[in-house]
């Protein structure tokens, strides 16, 4: 139910969605969000109010950094009590990283924060941006009769699908269906109506306050294995100065080579207090290190299973836990369990 007193804050951070085509020159130019309603006339028909907050200059999401993430979180925190929900317009390139990191920065979120963007600029005739924008706003405004929001969590909405943000990954550089949530059910599907799948949506404790956590540590790395990988490459990554956490992208159900040099390098890194999390290179499925000998040795060394977490979520979760200076064993434990619904 969308109530007419609902208020949504639309935060424009950048990305393709915020562009228009100059009809005379054909060039893509930044869209003037302060004239949103005249540029997107459909906005006038929304039955709730929408205020806008603009990042200036806009960020191409392939250049997003930790400061930008903190700035986005601050806008939500500073306006948390004034709005029923938030829509963050963001470039699609790194949207899953931003969705994941914000999910860890927000603890006990009790309002919808929906990230959306588009593959074609909003000012293009065939844009996917308008539908994404309008439906994301409607979802952010949707409340039950008792005033509780329908989706009190951090989501990505793209091309008719509402997904848990930290479960998403960008799967297509061309199609409008650019995102998927391979290991978790959709939270809602938009057709003639928006169909919510309530049993998959988080149910926060409304008596607890929401906490905003700004500490992030980017002394982390992603190490993607491939057949023929050189010892010098693995060594360069695992001995990076200041390194504290590694997402090890392994094969299949969490398997890796057993060459002595690899085991040695990994063992030294673990003994030096680096947290290593095993994430599969497969889009679907789980890490199960006990299945094969090529996984068992990782488990014995002390590599943590990331189960079915995405690389984006594993990396940003590490950034958040390391930033909060938790103890080594606590981080290893917290990486192996779900904190925000990021793993099954």
| Residues 80-99 close enough to bind ligand ASP by CB under 6 A | 91-93
Based on the shown chain and the rule CB under 6 A, indicate whether residue 61 belongs to the binding site for ligand ASP.
Answer: yes
Tokens representing 131 are 């539908």
- CB-neighbour burial class of residue 298 (10 A; exposed 0-12, middle 13-18, buried 19+): buried
Which of the stretches 12-20, 108-116, 206-214, 284-292 binds ligand ASP when contact is defined by CB under 6 A? 12-20
Question: Which residue's CB comes closest to ligand ASP?
Answer: 91
What distances in angstroms separate CA 211 from CA 120, 154, 207, 287, one per listed residue?
35, 14, 13, 31
Interface characters, 140-179, with ligand ASP (x: CB under 6 A): ----------------------------------------
Nearer to ligand ASP, 63 or 259 (CB): 63
Q: What are phi and psi of 249, to 5 degrees?
A: -85, 110
Q: Measured at the alpha carbon of residue 320, what is the angle toward residues 74 and 221, in degrees to the nearest 5?
A: 125
Minimum CB distance to ligand ASP, residue 123 (Å): 13
Minimum CB distance to ligand ASP, residue 120 (Å): 9
Nearer to ligand ASP, 62 or 213 (CB): 62
Whether the Cβ atoms of residue 335 and residue 293 lie closer than 8 Å to each other = no
The residues assigned a catalytic role are 16
Minimum CB distance to ligand ASP, residue 71 (Å): 16
Interface characters, 16-55, with ligand ASP (x: CB under 6 A): x---------------------------------------
Whether the Cβ atoms of residue 9 and residue 86 lie closer than 8 Å to each other = yes
Based on the shown chain and the rule CB under 6 A, indicate whether residue 62 belongs to the binding site for ligand ASP.
Answer: yes
* Given 15, 149, 152, 323, the residue binding ligand ASP (CB under 6 A): 15
Neighbours of 228 (CB within 10 A): 6
Given the structure tokens 């309002």, which residue do they identify? 111
How far, in Å, CA of 130 to CA of 120, rounded?
A: 10
How far, in Å, CA of 324 to CA of 318, rounded?
A: 10
Q: Which residues bind ligand ASP (CB under 6 A)?
A: 14-16, 60-62, 91-93, 117, 119
């Amino acid at each position: 139910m969308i109530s007419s007193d609902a208020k949504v804050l639309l935060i424009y951070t950048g990305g393709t969605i915020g562009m228009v085509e100059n009809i005379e020159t054909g060039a893509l130019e930044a869209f003037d969000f302060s004239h949103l309603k005249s540029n997107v006339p459909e906005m006038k028909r929304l039955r709730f109010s929408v205020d806008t907050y603009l990042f200036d200059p806009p960020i191409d999401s392939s250049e997003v950094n930790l400061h930008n993430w903190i700035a986005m979180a601050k806008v939500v925190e500073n306006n948390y009590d004034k709005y029923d929900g938030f829509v963050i317009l963001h470039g699609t390139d790194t949207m899953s990283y931003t969705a994941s990191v914000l999910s860890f920065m927000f603890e006990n979120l009790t309002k919808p924060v929906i990230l959306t963007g588009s593959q074609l600029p909003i000012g293009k005739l065939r844009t996917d941006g308008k539908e994404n924008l309008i439906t994301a706003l409607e979802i952010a405004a949707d409340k039950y009769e008792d005033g509780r929001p329908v989706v009190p969590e951090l989501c990505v909405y793209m091309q008719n699908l509402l997904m848990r943000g930290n479960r998403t990954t960008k799967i297509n550089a061309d199609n409008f269906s650019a995102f998927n949530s391979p290991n978790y059910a959709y939270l809602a599907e938009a057709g003639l109506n928006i169909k919510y799948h309530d049993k998959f949506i988080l149910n926060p404790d409304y008596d607890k306050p929401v906490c905003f956590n700004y500490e992030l540590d980017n002394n982390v790395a992603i190490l993607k294995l491939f057949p023929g990988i050189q010892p010098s490459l693995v060594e360069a990554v695992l001995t990076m100065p200041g390194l504290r956490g590694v997402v090890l992208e392994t094969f299949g159900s969490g398997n890796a080579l057993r060459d002595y040099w690899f085991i040695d390098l990994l063992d030294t890194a673990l003994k030096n207090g680096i947290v290593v999390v095993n994430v599969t290179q497969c889009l679907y499925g789980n890490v199960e290190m006990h299945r094969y000998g090529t996984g068992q040795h990782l488990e014995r060394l002390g590599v943590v299973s990331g189960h079915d977490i995405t690389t984006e979520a594993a990396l940003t979760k590490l950034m958040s836990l390391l930033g909060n200076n938790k103890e080594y064993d606590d981080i290893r434990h917290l990486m192996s369990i779900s904190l925000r619904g990021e793993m099954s």
